[in-house]
A and B are shown apart, each in its own frame.
Chain A
């Protein structure tokens, strides 16, 4: 009954109530969105570096190397000689080395030359068809299969570089031979083929070109002289000498290597190795500033909503003094008036929290669809982080209690006789 009265009371002054609820809703929505995006973003990023201790690639920004070769969101730093990379890949410290060769894309999805180990690393099993064996056979990620509705046996031409509008390589068609199981990792959005496929597609002249500084794939000025060599359509194999790859994902048997290799490689070769864990941490700390700023903003809004609830309750308390006195005359205890004020405030907070949680998820749905287009990264709005959202709920309730404290005490101390006599 008290709760019912509280509910009726808060809707008796709809404008006050709506203001408080809107403020609460927006702060809860912002915080919920941040919590979920941050957590899922980190999860996605960390999930992808499982099993990669170091990445070897061309010199340049280590962060760029990681972003391009692990997450496929940036342009590669350049190419490295496969022959010199092989020396390190066969080092006894190395447990597994997965070479990557970036080539083309198909409608914006990267075509990546690699080995079967790549699929194993991401625990992406082939659900349909088989693994790529011959050149130009490809295994496609589950998301691609769904979005582009590709089936086993379909053929397509790749476009050069990163951009979907790039030059179309019409000499060789890729043929889908396998579809990978969904893994929730980058592999879902990749088209995988053998490394020689990439070489053969750009089959040129690797020999001469390796010496003449040819900018990397995806960078301006990269030259492909196609058609010259196309008379000899011989199958290029992995043993072709003098070829280039883009990067190597390394997993170490001996963890000493993780510490010592960055310096050894930098000193002895033209390559670099970068640690994904380190670089990703660096990235998070950069993001962290922005996220923190938004969080402060959201807590600020929450503070304002607390003040708004306080003012609303305090003002109505003045107007409703007589009502409270009346409730006492009719047999209400002091504590019941306190309850009434507290419940009114808590109802506002709970309504605000529920709307905020929903609105936050709507925001994630929206962010997810944009991120999906731009970064091939999606967020799950239906995930509940009980711990963090629980804390947020407690915080909201706390704001409600604090805002109601003074009005509740005033209601408790109300002098009935004086109030009625002065009315």
Chain B
């Protein structure tokens, strides 16, 4: 679960983002919507510990993330936060399976091969495990990044426009996988999106103004 309070952020002095407080239970889903330029991605990066806000607090599993030193934050992020991005990026020199193993090694120091295979199986791409990511279709790549986000059983799963580059069929599938897997692994799922195909499906949402 994740709770935020009074988060303020600014790139430059003139413009300041004040983000609404949010709260999301483990296993449930929260949608963050809003027009472009309102700071959706910025908010997501703050929640993921990639950007440091000017003030406020982010509690994940009773730990205020903003109090951590940089090195600890890196570890904390690796262990507790899963990130699914609009466009999936991979380490292109490594195979799908190795990409997943790398994610768990960086966070915990162990290659969790069994878990990687299980996730790939659940996402129906286990037969692609030994291919390079570039050899997969975009829909498959998106599923691999979901698998990677879930590798370390994160407390929070953040998805940044996960469906924007997908067709209807794939988009639906991805959303379904995200929600069902976050329930199964008891992660709070936060989706940043302006995709109307998703908006209809969820009632729990915050709109940035």
A positions within 8 Å CB-CB of B: 1, 5, 8-9, 11-12, 320, 322-323, 325-334, 336, 416-417, 420-421, 423
Contact = CB atoms under 8 A, between A and B. Distances in A.
Contact of B107 (A5, A8, A330, A420): A330
A8 B93 contact: yes
Nearest to A332: B106
A326 B89 CA distance: 7
B103 A330 contact: yes
Interface stretch (B21-29, B72-80, B182-190): B72-80
B34 to A, nearest CB: 15
B170 interface: no
B17 interface: no
Contact of A12 (B89, B93, B102): B93
B71 interface: yes
Residues of A contacting B: mostly: helix
A330 B148 contact: yes
A417 B148 contact: no
Contacts of A323: 89-92
A326 B107 contact: no
A421 B37 CA distance: 12
A423 B45 CA distance: 14
A270 B62 CA distance: 105
B111 to A, nearest CB: 8
A423 B77 contact: no
Which range contains the number of B residues in contact with the other chain?
20 to 34
Contact of B51 (A8, A9, A328, A417): A417
Given A329-B83, A417-B45, A5 B71 contact: no
Nearest to B87: A423
Interface of B: 41-42, 45, 48, 50-51, 70-71, 74-75, 77-79, 83, 85, 87, 89-94, 98, 102-103, 105-107, 111, 148, 152
A5 B74 contact: no
A12 B105 CA distance: 21
8 contacts: A5-B93, A8-B94, A322-B89, A323-B90, A331-B77, A331-B152, A332-B74, A336-B106
A5 B50 contact: no
A189 to B, nearest CB: 56
B51 A326 contact: no
A334 B93 CA distance: 20
B106 A331 contact: yes
Contacts of B89: 322-323, 325-326, 420, 423
A113 to B, nearest CB: 71
A5 B102 contact: yes
Given A1-B105, A416-B50, A420-B85, A327 B45 contact: no
A334 B79 CA distance: 16
A323 B45 CA distance: 17
B82 to A, nearest CB: 9
B68 to A, nearest CB: 13
A329 B105 contact: no
A155 to B, nearest CB: 71
Given A323-B91, A331-B107, A423-B87, 5 more contacts: A9-B91, A328-B50, A330-B102, A330-B103, A417-B45
A328 to B, nearest CB: 7
A321 to B, nearest CB: 9
Of B42, B50, B71, B152, which is in contact with the most chain A CB atoms at under 10 Å from its CB?
B50
Given A5-B91, A5-B93, A423-B89, A329 B48 contact: yes
Contacts of B83: 329
Contact of A326 (B91, B93, B98, B111): B91
A328 B102 CA distance: 11
B162 to A, nearest CB: 14
B23 to A, nearest CB: 23
Contact of A333 (B74, B105, B111, B148): B74
B50 A329 contact: yes
Listed from nearest, the 8 A-B pairs whose CB atoms lie closest are A331-B78, A12-B93, A331-B107, A322-B89, A331-B106, A8-B93, A417-B50, A417-B45
Of A5, A320, A329, A334, which is in contact with the most chain B CB atoms at under 10 Å from its CB?
A329
A320 B89 CA distance: 10
B45 A421 contact: yes
B167 to A, nearest CB: 21
Contact of B50 (A1, A9, A12, A420): A420
Contact of A420 (B45, B92, B106): B45
A333 B102 contact: no
A414 B33 CA distance: 28
A420 B94 CA distance: 20
B85 A328 contact: no
Given A417-B45, A417-B51, A329 B77 contact: yes
Of A5, A323, A326, A330, which is in contact with the most chain B CB atoms at under 10 Å from its CB?
A330
B77 A9 contact: no
Contacts of A421: 41-42, 45
Contacts of B148: 330
Contacts of A328: 50, 74
A344 to B, nearest CB: 10
A195 to B, nearest CB: 75
Nearest to B132: A12
Of A8, A11, A328, A331, which is in contact with the most chain B CB atoms at under 10 Å from its CB?
A331
A159 to B, nearest CB: 67
